[in-house]
A and B are shown apart, each in its own frame.
Chain A
Amino acid sequence: MLANTARTFVKARPLFAQRFYATGAGANTLLIVEHKDGAITGATLNALTAASKLGGSVTALVAGGDDAIAQSIAKYTGVSKVLTASDAAYSKNLPEDLAPLLVEVTKSNNFTHVFAGHTAVGKNVLPRVAALLDVAAVSDITGVESEDTFVRPIYAGNAIATVKSNDNVKIVTVRGTAFEAAQESGNNAAVEAAPEVAKSGVTEWIGEEIQKSDRPDLGTANRVISGGRGMKNGDNFKLLYDMADKMGAAVGASRAAVDAGFVDNSLQVGQTGKIVAPELYVAVGISGAIQHLAGMKDSKTIVAINKDADAPIFQVADYGLVEDLFKAVPEITEKL
């Protein structure tokens, strides 16, 4: 009897291995659901699309959130299960507590992939998880070639690398603008509680200052207008806000404008700020340094308004207008 069972096992194994490999169903992915103020963050939905490209199953983890978020993510196409860790200790995404939870969940479920958006939270937490699992992390992917091969920009987007991870668990953060957002459907994935993990409590969250804005979110807006050093001061950004309101656009800025104190740093577009890829990007008074282009050159249409005809921004702009922005911007606002 025993011998019989063993033989069945041996025969069955290669069959399994073959089928899993051929369909990609071997991927067993954990998706970190980032949420704020009771809503799922947009980048999570882009990461879900990227994770779905692996084939196999996607389990969403909601840490520190209420039931509504778990119920909401369960409706999205491609989510096969939802795990919740509703302890309030996770609500501020402190990596010292969140990383051990992710490690435990990954190990106990044999996840082969852990995916999150390449956001301030994803960037902060996932490398710590990778080190605790003794595996490499792959940051800011823009393409999924196969279960172990990903595409990512390096050198501020001036080169595109195709990389293959040889580790048993792939820890990946996803560039939101490179993937469509996943859609809600009639899906109804089961919701379960994640295992309890001890909290370290070494860090304390004191507070936050969030820039409130009625305009669309910079990272996901269809249209973005950015101002640079040429705006001369913060008050002049009103010209851009007026134009943005007419166009339903978000407002961004170059590093020069942020460093000069014209606007808040959360508006910075570039290698070290937000990466955007809207339908329309209007660069106003921005010269077009490599670091800025890294944040916007995947936009569908780029417009540059600059009085310096030799500014590098004109080399990437689909339409360039050589004119004083203080004359051109009000004129555009008026004529829209």
Chain B
Amino acid sequence: MSNPLRIFVPVKRVIDFAVKVRVNPAKTDVDRNVKHSMNPFDEIAVEEAVRIKEKAPKTEVVAISCGSAKAQETLRTALAMGADRAVHVEVKDDSTLQPLAVAKLLEAYTKKEENKPDLFILGKQAIDDDSNQTGQMLAGLLNLPQTTFASKLEIENQSLKVTREIDGGLETIKTSMPAIVTTDLRLNEPRYASLPNIMKAKKKPLVKITPEDLGVDISPRIQTLKVEEPPKREGGRKVESVDELLDKLKNEAKNFQNT
């Protein structure tokens, strides 16, 4: 572990979580001409890194994003939240950029960087492709320990203690650093970037590199054959009373035949 600590935080620009996405008429993708913002789990990752920095002020927090030119907006948001510098791996079309390719770009960048990170904090999943893969893949490629779905993270000297959200409850894991952590919703409450910090973020360093610079093949391994709307539910029927509700459940939906 280096002293001071260095944390890499990969962030992704995605369609804003509040937007109701629509499938495009050609059924090849969703309509992307809508509001985008930083993936909510990545905001939690940036927040956690910045909180570690607030306790150990010499910590360096590096935000990295792989994507089109617009990914720079997301990197500026991370800088405004408190990251020190940003790295933009620019790809022409990020609609076909898949977790394995991103993990390889991050691996190649890490290997190239002289100043190695002690910790990677990623979101547990991006809310667009819902894959939940990149952090685990990066850990595999770099042969580092991984603690996914973290809801609590403690750094003690050379080691990391992480509480993870698992099916049915929580689990605690201790591991050495460097390590990969992916964030769950309950790790923290991300801060809003203040206006002065947004202004300051514009002056923070942001370097741009390409997959070619890193020698990584980003061609998709998975081909999307089609994208469709999910089947519509025929909802919207209202009942007047508890009695009517129970009657419908028993006699129409046949729900309580054994009760």
| Residues of A participating in the B interface, judged by any CB pair closer than 8 Å | 94-96, 99, 119-121, 123-132, 134-140, 149, 153-167, 202-211, 219, 223, 246-248, 255, 258-259, 264-266, 271-272, 274, 279-280, 290-291, 297, 300-303, 309, 314-323, 328, 331-332, 335-336
Query: In this complex, which of A138, A203, A300 has the most chain B Cβ atoms within 10 angstroms of its Cβ?
Result: A203
The bracket for how many chain B residues form the interface is 35 or more
Find out whether the CB atom of B249 lies under 8 angstroms from the CB atom of A301: yes
Find out whether the CB atom of B175 lies under 8 angstroms from the CB atom of A127: no
B151 in the interface (beta carbon within 8 A): yes
CB distance from A323 to the nearest CB of B (A): 8
Find out whether the CB atom of B169 lies under 8 angstroms from the CB atom of A266: yes
Find out whether the CB atom of A130 lies under 8 angstroms from the CB atom of B100: yes
CA distance A156 to B256 in the complex (A): 31
Find out whether the CB atom of A94 lies under 8 angstroms from the CB atom of B173: yes
Find out whether the CB atom of A159 lies under 8 angstroms from the CB atom of B127: no
Known contacts: A123-B148, A136-B98, A301-B249. The answer to whether A328 contacts B242 by CB under 8 A is: yes
Find out whether the CB atom of B227 lies under 8 angstroms from the CB atom of A167: no
CA distance A322 to B241 in the complex (A): 8
Known: A95-B139, A211-B168, A318-B237. 16 other contacts (CB 8 A): A123-B132, A126-B136, A128-B137, A131-B137, A137-B99, A153-B230, A160-B227, A166-B223, A203-B175, A210-B168, A280-B255, A314-B236, A317-B236, A320-B238, A321-B239, A321-B245
Name the one of A129, A206, A303 contacting B245, with C-beta atoms under 8 angstroms: A303
CB distance from B126 to the nearest CB of A (A): 10
Find out whether the CB atom of A314 lies under 8 angstroms from the CB atom of B238: yes
CB distance from B152 to the nearest CB of A (A): 12
Q: Mark out the residues of chain B between 129 and 183 whose CB falls within 8 Å of any chain A CB in the assembled complex.
A: 129-141, 145-149, 151, 161, 164-176
B235 in the interface (beta carbon within 8 A): yes
Main secondary structure of the interface of B (DSSP, over half): mixed
B73 in the interface (beta carbon within 8 A): no
Instruction: Give the A-B pair count, Cβ closer than 8 A.
Output: 251
Q: Mark out the residues of chain B between 20 and 73 whose CB falls within 8 Å of any chain A CB in the assembled complex.
A: 20-21, 23, 30
Cβ–Cβ < 8 Å partners of B151 in chain A = 265
Cβ–Cβ < 8 Å partners of B166 in chain A = 120-121, 208
Known contacts: A162-B224, A167-B221. The answer to whether A96 contacts B146 by CB under 8 A is: yes
Contact string against A for B residues 214-251, beta-carbon threshold 8 Å, 1 for contact and 0 otherwise: 00000001111111111001111111011101101100
Find out whether the CB atom of B176 lies under 8 angstroms from the CB atom of A202: yes
CA distance A131 to B171 in the complex (A): 25
Q: Mark out the residues of chain B between 71 and 126 whose CB falls within 8 Å of any chain A CB in the assembled complex.
A: 98-100, 103, 124-125
CA distance A312 to B166 in the complex (A): 30
Known contacts: A127-B136, A158-B230, A264-B169. The answer to whether A302 contacts B235 by CB under 8 A is: yes
B194 in the interface (beta carbon within 8 A): no
CA distance A291 to B40 in the complex (A): 12
Name the one of B20, B147, B221, B227 contacting A290, with C-beta atoms under 8 angstroms: B20
Find out whether the CB atom of B137 lies under 8 angstroms from the CB atom of A130: yes
CA distance A126 to B223 in the complex (A): 20
| Residues of B participating in the A interface, judged by any CB pair closer than 8 Å | 15, 17-18, 20-21, 23, 30, 98-100, 103, 124-125, 127-141, 145-149, 151, 161, 164-176, 184-186, 221-230, 233-239, 241-243, 245-246, 248-249, 253, 255-256, 259
CA distance A322 to B240 in the complex (A): 8
CB distance from B10 to the nearest CB of A (A): 14
CA distance A312 to B127 in the complex (A): 20
Cβ–Cβ < 8 Å partners of B229 in chain A = 159-160
Cβ–Cβ < 8 Å partners of A164 in chain B = 222-223, 225
Known contacts: A95-B136, A159-B23. The answer to whether A318 contacts B253 by CB under 8 A is: yes
Query: In this complex, which of A134, A153, A165, A204 has the most chain B Cβ atoms within 10 angstroms of its Cβ?
Result: A204
> In the complex, what residue of chain A is closest to B246 when comparing beta carbons?
A335
CB distance from A308 to the nearest CB of B (A): 12
CB distance from A130 to the nearest CB of B (A): 6
Find out whether the CB atom of A119 lies under 8 angstroms from the CB atom of B167: yes
CA distance A162 to B229 in the complex (A): 12
Known contacts: A301-B255, A336-B259. The answer to whether A159 contacts B130 by CB under 8 A is: no
> In the complex, what residue of chain A is closest to B135 when comparing beta carbons?
A127
Cβ–Cβ < 8 Å partners of A248 in chain B = 259
Find out whether the CB atom of A210 lies under 8 angstroms from the CB atom of B169: yes
Find out whether the CB atom of A120 lies under 8 angstroms from the CB atom of B245: no
CA distance A63 to B99 in the complex (A): 27
Find out whether the CB atom of A203 lies under 8 angstroms from the CB atom of B249: no
> In the complex, what residue of chain B is closest to A119 when comparing beta carbons?
B167
Find out whether the CB atom of A138 lies under 8 angstroms from the CB atom of B222: yes
Name the one of B23, B149, B172 contacting A206, with C-beta atoms under 8 angstroms: B172
Find out whether the CB atom of B140 lies under 8 angstroms from the CB atom of A131: yes
